[in-house]
Amino acid sequence: MQVAGQTVTAKGKFGEMRHEVTPTIEVKLDDGKLWVKPRTDSSRLRPIWGTERALLKNLVQGVGAGFQRALVINGVGFRAAAQGKVLTLQLGFSHDVTYKPADGLTVTCTTPQNITIAGADRQKVGQAAAEIRALRKPEPYKGKGIRFAEETVLRKEGKKK
């Protein structure tokens, strides 16, 4: 890890990433630890301080261990297949839906109903997962659609005679 002015650069097994820290926040590297503190004692800087600290933590964790997000597809005939960098989804439409993730992300399908998105940038991983989920959100009556693996779909009762 390196600190040059307000730029923090981290290298790891998942690549190299850098982040430009806000000028109102002071960053220094001491004995392998990254110290973040505001330059002045202002109540407006406290939220920025916490945000910058979290962004730097995600930067270091991303290049070291990476991030991943799992999606599950529910529904008869709904399935996914990853071919190279492109994800092909069959979601009950008259056509197949293709999704090409951003650079630095890998999309894998362990089964036709499970999708895993992995990468070093936490924001990109979450954004890609949200975009794929938005293609067919889970509906509350039968639970069909794409949901996050840890998400529970609240089911509604159907019509009564």
pLDDT in tens, 67-83: 999 999 999 999 999 99
pLDDT in tens, 119-132: 999 999 999 999 99
User: pTM value?
Assistant: 0.86
- The domain locations on the chain are 2-64, 67-148
- What does the DSSP 8-state code read for residue 95? S
Residues belonging to the chain: 161
132-156: buried (b, 16+ CB within 10 Å) or exposed (e) per residue? bbeebebeeeeebbbbeeeeebeee
| Largest CA-CA distance found in the chain, in angstroms, rounded | 71
2-64 CATH fold: Outer Surface Protein A; domain 3 (3.90.930)
How far apart, in whole angstroms, are the C-alpha atoms of residue 35 and residue 27?
6
CATH of 67-148, one of 3.40.50.620, 3.90.930.12, 3.40.50.300, 3.40.140.10: 3.90.930.12
Q: The sheet that has 7-12: what strands, in order across it? A: 2-4, 7-12, 15-20
